[in-house]
Structure 1
Amino acid sequence: MRVGVIGMGSMGMGAALSLLKAGHTVTGCDMREAARAEFAAAGGAAIASAAELPKGTEALLLLVVNAQQTEAAIFGESGAAAHLAPGAVVISSATMAPDSARALASRAEALGLLWLDAPVSGGAAKAREGAMTVMASGSAAAFDAAQPVLDAIATKVWRLGDAVGIGATVKVVHQLLAGVHIAVAAEAMALGIRAGANPQALYDVVTSAAGNSWMFENRMARVLTGDDAPRSAVDIFIKDLGLVTDMARSLDFPVPLAAQAQQLFTAARAMGQGQKDDGFVIRVWQALTGIKLPGDAP
């Protein structure tokens, strides 16, 4: 299958490589030269603009940051729409508001394209294993057209209904949990350090006991070694928790924990940590209390 992948960050690169391994003809698009070089070295075609996408591309997987980037990648001046085959499927995997997903799908369908509202989860490691989780909604025709791509990138595909926007809704709710879990994981580790607990021992106890979470285990492991390279950056959760609070506000639904977590991530960005790994929201507590993190240089 001729597949285009736009956005080869931590998740997009893994998905593009998984598609290559599955035998698809894959063109990966990213503005960053390093990402293009990595993908080209693996045997894929690498381009810097969606305008360079091969004519007749049958499926387009979008793993960009938000709805605005999704819109530009497809419908912008240098967008991909003109290069897609008639009836091609667009697999939209950026986290966005349900209303944005519906609006973009309507524009694509007016051009004769199929649209799958298909946010993903799993992180960079799962993406490279072809083992992501996809929370998708769309027509039966869109699912059928996207199936070869989904088979290559995911081990779990949730079919949530035929209405675009349901996938986006579930992902926004998921991000509420993810963001709060990261924030509370950092708070717990910071409290333990301030109280004099050995950080590694604290980590070992929590990850073997009922208080553990996937986010604590994953993110605090990097805090222990000082590895703040962004697999998912602080800035991403400012955006995603903003989607949570916006959706909740539209429903007159209170989300105090999500709102507090968003403020903590915003504080981390104000400290210059916006492009650091999101677990390093712990630096907010470091700034407030003067704790030394285990991975900090002497």
Structure 2
Amino acid sequence: MLRAGVIGLGDMGSGLAKNLIKNGFATTGLDLSEDRMSAFAAMGGILAPSVAEVGANADAVYVMVMNGAQAKAVILGDNGLISHMTKGGAVVLTATIKPSEAREIATAMEGSGVHLIDSPVSGGFPGAQSGALTMMAAGEPSVLDTYKPVMEAVSKTIHRVGAQAGDGQVVKSCLQTLIGSIFGATFEAAALAAKAGVSGQVLFDVFSTSGAGCGVSNTALENIIDRKFEGTGSGIGTMHKDLTISLDMAEEIGVPLFMASTAMQIFHQGKTKYPEGDNWVCTRVMEEIVGAELHRQKRKDT
């Protein structure tokens, strides 16, 4: 059986590791946090002291870091993965980074004998932890075939979106423009309802059973009306970063993004006021402006 590795054991990476182990893959992992490493060991993971050690003990390594600079350091650095992985192995780039950065990594990997699967994911913390992520995989068909079992262990759906590095990141950028825009509209609707005196439960019941209801808006609204603005596994910094990537790509190729641009400003205000909050904390900023809060049930003073 193929051996797996995971670099980055946060909300998303810990879910990857959990499901790889659950599906019988010997999994080596690394994170800068001692607490995350301890949790990984407790679930049956093999601790590694360095990136090099992960590479030397895995046929396929998931890279779930925050940005392109970190991905480049992990994959291409002096003691990066390509210097220590067995030829024929694969780096599965699940981090969301700029398409241009994914292409730069692929170019630098040429001649190393190690393959790159560019496969950002969607599904957030719940999807990662339950092994139900959607993967947007780009790579050579034969490589995707070889490493399909490792990818199936962490996902519910694998879309083959292209053969070139960067193709996966492009699709993810398009997806995030939509998700970010839906979030922004939901936050505004929640603030409007709060000021008008509508109960959160009524709003959720109507929205979730209407044509506008979807997993994105339903999850956002439930967290808002239950006042869960931290610790839900959807840190605002990630969406803020993803929208930045989408808008940068749009600027590069000359595409106007009106809705995503507005959503970016909404996330920017939330991140500025509550940098440790989750996505839904943007609504809290709006509520502070209008002087009303949306709770599941109306409070007696409203």
TM-score, structure 1 as length reference: 0.93
Between the aligned partners of 1:48 and 1:65, the Cα distance in structure 2 is 20
Between the aligned partners of 1:231 and 1:94, the Cα distance in structure 2 is 15
Aligned to 1:107: 108
- SS of match in other structure, 2:201: helix
The one-character-per-residue Cα deviations of 1:102-146 (angstroms, maximum 9, x if unpaired) are 110111233121011101111222222222110111112321332
Establish whether residue 2 from structure 1 lines up as the match of residue 3 from structure 2.
Answer: yes
The one-character-per-residue Cα deviations of 1:35-91 (angstroms, maximum 9, x if unpaired) are 111111111113454233262421111111121111111122443333311121011
Match of 1:240 among 231, 242, 267: 242
Aligned to 2:42: 41
Between the aligned partners of 1:2 and 1:258, the Cα distance in structure 2 is 40
Aligned to 1:257: 259
Between the aligned partners of 2:34 and 2:201, the Cα distance in structure 1 is 38
Q: What number of residue pairs does the alignment pair up?
A: 296
1:39-118 counterparts in 2 under 5 A?
39-47=40-48, 49-53=50-54, 55-118=56-119
Between the aligned partners of 1:12 and 1:286, the Cα distance in structure 2 is 33
Between the aligned partners of 1:61 and 1:239, the Cα distance in structure 2 is 20
Between the aligned partners of 2:294 and 2:200, the Cα distance in structure 1 is 9
Aligned to 1:124: 125
Between the aligned partners of 1:57 and 1:170, the Cα distance in structure 2 is 28
Contact kept, 8 Å, 1:88 with 1:145, in 2: the verdict is no
Contact kept, 8 Å, 1:190 with 1:282, in 2: the verdict is yes
Give the partner amino acid of 2:199.
N
Of residues 173-182 and 70-79 in structure 1, the stretch that sits farther from structure 2 once superposed is 70-79
- SS of match in other structure, 1:71: helix
Q: Offset of 1:293 from its aligned partner?
A: 4.2
Establish whether residue 137 from structure 1 lines up as the match of residue 144 from structure 2.
Answer: no
Aligned to 1:285: 286
Give the partner amino acid of 2:237.
D
Q: Offset of 1:242 from its aligned partner?
A: 1.0
Give the partner amino acid of 1:209.
S
Of residues 202-211 and 223-232 in structure 1, the stretch that sits farther from structure 2 once superposed is 223-232
The one-character-per-residue Cα deviations of 1:5-42 (angstroms, maximum 9, x if unpaired) are 01112221111111001111101211112211111111
Q: Offset of 1:160 from its aligned partner?
A: 1.5
Contact kept, 8 Å, 1:172 with 1:240, in 2: the verdict is yes
Between the aligned partners of 1:57 and 1:214, the Cα distance in structure 2 is 35
- SS of match in other structure, 2:162: coil
1:120-269 counterparts in 2 under 5 A?
120-227=121-228, 228-269=230-271
Structure 1 runs not aligned, ≥5 long: none
CA RMSD of aligned residues (A): 1.9
Of residues 75-84 and 231-240 in structure 1, the stretch that sits farther from structure 2 once superposed is 75-84
Q: How has the CA–CA distance of structure 1 residues 269 and 56 changed in structure 2, closer, same or farther, with 3 Å as cutoff?
A: closer
Give the partner amino acid of 2:165.
V
Identity over aligned pairs, percent: 33
Contact kept, 8 Å, 2:123 with 2:133, in 1: the verdict is yes
Between the aligned partners of 1:27 and 1:128, the Cα distance in structure 2 is 17
- SS of match in other structure, 2:87: strand
- SS of match in other structure, 2:56: coil
Structure 2 runs not aligned, ≥5 long: none
Aligned to 2:32: 31
Q: How has the CA–CA distance of structure 1 residues 49 and 279 changed in structure 2, closer, same or farther, with 3 Å as cutoff?
A: farther
Contact kept, 8 Å, 1:137 with 1:160, in 2: the verdict is yes
TM-score, structure 2 as length reference: 0.92
Q: Offset of 1:92 from its aligned partner?
A: 0.5
Aligned to 1:21: 22
Give the partner amino acid of 2:181.
V
